[in-house]
Amino acid sequence: MRSLTAGDSHGELLVGIIEGFPAGHRVSVRDIERDLSRRRKSYGRSARQNIERDSIKIVSGLWKGRTTGAPIAILVQNLGRTVSGKPGGALGSVPRPGHADLAGCLKYGFDEVPPISERSSARGTAMRVAFGSLAKSVLKLFAIEILGHVTSIGGVDADVAPVPFAKLKRSVSRSPLYCADKQAADKMIETIRVAKKEGNSLGGRVEVVATGLIPGLGTHVESDRKLDARLAGALVSIQSVKAVEIGDVLKTHRLKGFESHDAMYLDRGRVSRKTNHAGGIEGSMTNGEDIIMRLYAKPLPTSLKRLSSYDMKMMKSAKSPFVRSDVCVLPALTVIAEGVVAWELLLAMVEQFGGDSIDQMKANYGSYVTGLAKRGIL
Ligand SMILES: Cc1cc2nc3c(=O)[nH]c(=O)nc-3n(C[C@H](O)[C@H](O)[C@H](O)COP(=O)(O)O)c2cc1C
């Protein structure tokens, strides 16, 4: 299974194609649009999000609402086509520090920013959310669920004591910031409000949890099929994400080995563990515990406190331009990260259990699970 996207930030459409998606899966456009809306309406974003609707059209790969195995083509219309009345964005020939502008212009031979900024913009994450939403709907058939939640914004940390998945999901769904700790979320909202007033921006941390996994997804045998590497690479590919933690390694790297690993016990013939420092991945494979990963995002580059830069045409010093900008995208990142993790997990599932049709996948999965049960797992 593979995917490809096209589309610019202020162009007509975003286009996404998925090839190799298993046949026979009922697709709910409403569910995909619900995820797109969670991304778009999340707290801290710019006025652009009030312009967009993010309704989707699926123009191929379906027959009577089910996937056929043929490429699926998805369209998301851009309604925001201009910035300050200018089509294609309001940027000129001054590259913005923290963005792809300078390196992109040098690499592709431009002296104006829009040909680069239009594609490097995070508008494209709408399509990644759409892909991820489709992936989530397949994973749900195998009782796998994924949830992202904000754990830190602008230095305000949430209390992240482990709680059951269902409880976490309930708390996150009630929060405008998609943060399970209400007290911390209130402080974060105030921090965002102050940053907005100052014309500034904020970074932070998001945790993603995937539950319901069987052991053995991914593999230790070759580097390009390692699940941890694929997940971390996919997450770092999201704009502004600069670090990913798997399990508790930011704590455990200071401890001794004995305190850092998750001992196994046999409990009435079933294998169990009391801790999950590994974050559900050992030797680049799922180990049956929840996957827990944390993403660290830098503060967004655009702010009213304009950094110094230079004009590529005039070869003169200039201030970096300020254009309409989000203040904080951590809540949106929770939805994008869910989608990205779902996509990578579905890839691993399709590779392992065969992907021509959902029925085939279910049959192969079922026989693997029966084998696991005989060995005291699940
Ligand atoms: C959902 C989302 C929205 C973003 N919106 C903005 C924005 O409005 N202004 C901005 O300067 N950066 C924004 N960014 C971050 C930039 O896209 C990103 O920093 C830039 O493309 C450079 O890529 P890098 O940070 O991965 O190096 C956003 C990121 C995400 C994930």
pLDDT digits (tens), the chain, 378 positions? 999 999 999 999 999 999 999 999 999 999 999 999 999 988 888 887 888 889 999 999 999 999 999 999 999 999 988 877 777 777 999 999 999 999 999 999 999 999 999 999 999 999 999 999 999 999 999 999 999 999 999 999 999 888 999 999 999 999 999 999 999 999 999 999 999 999 999 999 999 999 999 999 999 999 999 999 999 999 999 999 999 999 999 999 999 999 999 999 999 989 999 999 999 999 999 999 999 999 999 999 998 889 999 999 999 999 999 888 899 999 999 999 999 999 999 999 999 998 799 999 999 999 999 999 999 897
Cα(233) to ligand 1 centroid in Å equals 17
181 within 8 A of 159, measured Cβ to Cβ: yes
Ligand 1 closest atom vs CA 325: 8
Calculate the CA 274 to chain-centre distance: 28
Express the helix, strand and coil content of the chain in percent, nearest 5 each.
35, 25, 40
Cα(301) to ligand 1 centroid in Å equals 7
**DSSP conformational letter for 114:** H
Closest residue to atom 23 of ligand 1, CA basis: 239
In this predicted model, what pLDDT tens digit does every residue of 123-156 receive, in sequence order?
999 999 999 999 999 999 999 999 999 999 999 9
Return the axis-axis angle of helices 227-236 and 330-353, rounded to nearest 10°.
150
Fold (CATH) for 2-374: Chorismate synthase, AroC fold (3.60.150)
Q: Which of 102, 240, 309, 334 to mutate to test the pocket of ligand 1 (most atoms within 8 A of CB)?
A: 240
Q: Tell me the pTM.
A: 0.97
Closest residue to atom 6 of ligand 1, CA basis: 326
DSSP result, 25-67: PBP-HHHHHHHHHHHHT-TT--THHHH----EEEEESEETTEE
Closest residue to atom 5 of ligand 1, CA basis: 326
In the three-class reduction of DSSP (H, G, I as helix; E, B as strand; rest coil), residue 182 is classed as helix
Query: Is residue 99 lining ligand 1, measured as CB closer than 6 Å?
Result: yes
The domain segmentation of the chain, as residue ranges, is: 2-374
Query: Is residue 49 lining ligand 1, measured as CB closer than 6 Å?
Result: no
Q: Which of 120, 127, 300, 309 to mutate to test the pocket of ligand 1 (most atoms within 8 A of CB)?
A: 300
